[in-house]
Chains A and B, each alone.
Chain A
Amino acid sequence: MKVILVTGRSLKQGMGLELGKFSDTYYRSGVACEMNPEDMKELGLGSGGFVKVMSDHGEVVLRAVEASEEVPHGMIFIPYGPWVNLVVRSETQGTGMPSYKGIEVEVETVGESDIPNVEELVKLFGR
């Protein structure tokens, strides 16, 4: 399913920043893909189901949840964090600012997957 990805601040994500980047609160907020319930139904997703989000620049597996704040059909919301940054491109179109919002992505249902924690995730970057 093609959707528009919006990333942003959520209360849990913001509190997770202060509880620590290695905290469970930060992890749980960052791996939540908030979706419209109709879209979840169309993809056969229950709450907590695994969903792969793919852009031209990368992909990431997250847990689908019904959006706490309404998102319209065809949109997903993912709180800021290193997980969603896997699908955000570094090219800024000469502005200095990456596009963290309004990104065209594709989502599909996947089977149960291991979602790396923040330490495991950064190891994927190299060094």
Chain B
Amino acid sequence: MEIVTSVVCPFCGCLCDDLEVVVKEGKIVNVRKGCAYSLTKFLNYTEDRLTEPMVMKEGKHVNVRIDEAVKRAAQILVEAVYPMLYGWSSTSSEAQRVGIELAEEVGGVIDNTSTVCHGPTVEAFQEMGHVSCTLGQVKNRADLIIYWASNPLQSHLRHMSRYTIGAAGRWRKCRDDRTLVVVDVRKTYTAKVADYFVQVEPNADYELMAALRMAIKQEEIEQETVAGVPVEHIEELANLMIGCEFGILFYGLGLTMSSGKNRNLDAAISLVRDLNSRTKFVMMPMRGHFNVCGANKTSLWQTGYPFAVDFSHGYPRYNPGVTSAVDLLHRNESDAALIISSDPLTNFPKGAAASLIEDPMIVIDPHKTVTTDMADVFIPSTFVGIECKGTAYRMDGVPLKMRKVIEPPDGCLSDEGILRMILEEVRRLKGGK
């Protein structure tokens, strides 16, 4: 039996880096310190595993050699006028970098899953900038924790114990040293353990933040309630925010997926900016997929833009709402797709999903998904953080090295390796024209 220590969890944006994975006779048999998600991932990653490349022939998947699958994939991308390369948040930043090179080579759009999670966040950050910090600083310094439209007890299971109310930091040593505020449309499990719960009406976060900004500036709010919240509660929350020594606003998809979207984030950035004239305040999005933050970072340092990057003019352009995946599909603009480490057929609205399968589709993934079932070309890959190494970015933008814990099945290559093969074949085909 071998115990692999300091393993980084490849589930959510917390990237907990203290796991101990127990390996016996070449198989993972236990995970120590992990959350329910971590345990489920490490103990079940072989479920629905696919290990043979396949191409669709006469409506059925047929096993082929990897070089044949790579040739067919490259042919689809070269023949397409406007291919879309989508996914990228559950793979390494090394693979993301090759993906961007491939998108440029084929003149397509490369978009990552942040387009349907924190896209409005990164869009607002691009426009306005934001003040943030590392999770270590939160652990050591933050005395006011706000989870707005975020429910970490369902989504980021160790976030509170590692970094906020359950964490023993250098200057904030116990629960009594911190105040927890939850703002949500529902009284969630996280709300139940909060010191203050503010129940906001659906689609009204912008209004509540605007009212908070007024209260912070000591302006009179000429209403009894705003967004369903009594004004005296808004003023109490404003005083709490002003009175803290180090406050942090963690927020989730309740801000990005409801009315206002990126404008909600404009309001949140403005709120935090206002607070910094009175005290120290920072903000951080609760990132979902383990390397969705890396997908944004890699795209940023490679192209200047964090997602929805269009290379059809030969240079990077960015216009969410036009060059973003769901919009391309909604308008039936793309004519082929490469999907990597993602299952958009179960994640996209029906109209976009239906549009995706109208055109040729290449899928790279370690296991069977609804999207792999519909692939014209399927190439099996290895799990980053379990079967191969790679870089991932934690939700606070800190890059961590994912560890290889176990050998992959024979013949399965990393996402990066597969993409390099496709890129090489695309260049060979284009050179032969």
Q: A14-B155, A57-B351, A102-B203 are in contact. Are A8 and B253 (CB under 8 A)?
A: yes
B326 at the interface (CB under 8 A from A): yes
Q: A70-B186, A98-B116 are in contact. Are A89 and B48 (CB under 8 A)?
A: no
Is A92 touching B327 in the complex (CB atoms < 8 A)? Answer: yes
Closest CB in chain B relative to A58 CB, distance in Å: 6
A118–B185 CA distance with the chains assembled, in angstroms: 29
Of all chain B residues, the one with the shortest Cβ separation from A11 is B154
Question: What are the residues of chain B within 8 A of A19 when measuring CB–CB?
Answer: 40, 44, 47
A6–B262 CA distance with the chains assembled, in angstroms: 18
Is A98 touching B368 in the complex (CB atoms < 8 A)? Answer: no
* Chain A interface residue bracket vs B: 35 or more
* Chain B interface residue bracket vs A: 35 or more
Question: What are the residues of chain B within 8 A of A7 when measuring CB–CB?
Answer: 257
Closest CB in chain B relative to A68 CB, distance in Å: 8
Contact with B along A90-108 (1 / 0, CB 8 A): 1111111111111000000
Contact with B along A37-61 (1 / 0, CB 8 A): 0000000000000000000011000
SS class of chain A's interface: helix, strand, loop or mixed?
loop
Of all chain B residues, the one with the shortest Cβ separation from A22 is B48
Partner of B346, one of A15, A82, A102: A82
A82–B343 CA distance with the chains assembled, in angstroms: 10
A23 at the interface (CB under 8 A from B): yes
Of all chain B residues, the one with the shortest Cβ separation from A71 is B186
A101–B325 CA distance with the chains assembled, in angstroms: 19
Is A92 touching B346 in the complex (CB atoms < 8 A)? Answer: no
Is B259 touching A99 in the complex (CB atoms < 8 A)? Answer: yes
Contact with A along B193-226 (1 / 0, CB 8 A): 0000001001100000000000000000000000
A9–B48 CA distance with the chains assembled, in angstroms: 22
Is A100 touching B370 in the complex (CB atoms < 8 A)? Answer: no
Is B370 touching A21 in the complex (CB atoms < 8 A)? Answer: yes
B4 at the interface (CB under 8 A from A): no
Closest CB in chain B relative to A117 CB, distance in Å: 10
Closest CB in chain A relative to B58 CB, distance in Å: 14
Closest CB in chain B relative to A13 CB, distance in Å: 9
Closest CB in chain A relative to B370 CB, distance in Å: 5
B45 at the interface (CB under 8 A from A): yes
B375-400 residues with Cβ-Cβ distance < 8 A to A are: none
Partner of B115, one of A18, A96, A126: A96
Question: What are the residues of chain A within 8 A of B326 when measuring CB–CB?
Answer: 90, 92, 96-98
A44–B345 CA distance with the chains assembled, in angstroms: 34
Question: What are the residues of chain A within 8 A of B368 when measuring CB–CB?
Answer: 20-22
A109 at the interface (CB under 8 A from B): no
Is B47 touching A20 in the complex (CB atoms < 8 A)? Answer: yes
Question: What are the residues of chain A within 8 A of B187 when measuring CB–CB?
Answer: 69-70
Question: What are the residues of chain B within 8 A of A15 when measuring CB–CB?
Answer: 36-37, 40
Of all chain A residues, the one with the shortest Cβ separation from B353 is A125
Contact with A along B31-73 (1 / 0, CB 8 A): 0000011001100110110000000000000000000000000
A74–B374 CA distance with the chains assembled, in angstroms: 38
14 residue pairs from A and B, CB less than 8 Å apart: A8-B253, A19-B47, A22-B368, A57-B351, A69-B151, A69-B187, A72-B186, A82-B370, A90-B352, A93-B321, A99-B258, A100-B257, A101-B254, A125-B353
**Residues on A facing B (Cβ under 8 Å):** 4, 6-11, 14-15, 18-23, 57-58, 67, 69-72, 75, 77, 80-82, 85-86, 88-102, 118-119, 122, 125-127
Given A14-B155, A99-B259, A122-B370, 16 more A-B residue pairs with CB atoms under 8 Å apart are A4-B203, A21-B368, A82-B353, A82-B370, A88-B349, A89-B349, A91-B330, A95-B320, A100-B116, A101-B202, A101-B257, A122-B345, A125-B350, A125-B353, A126-B357, A127-B357
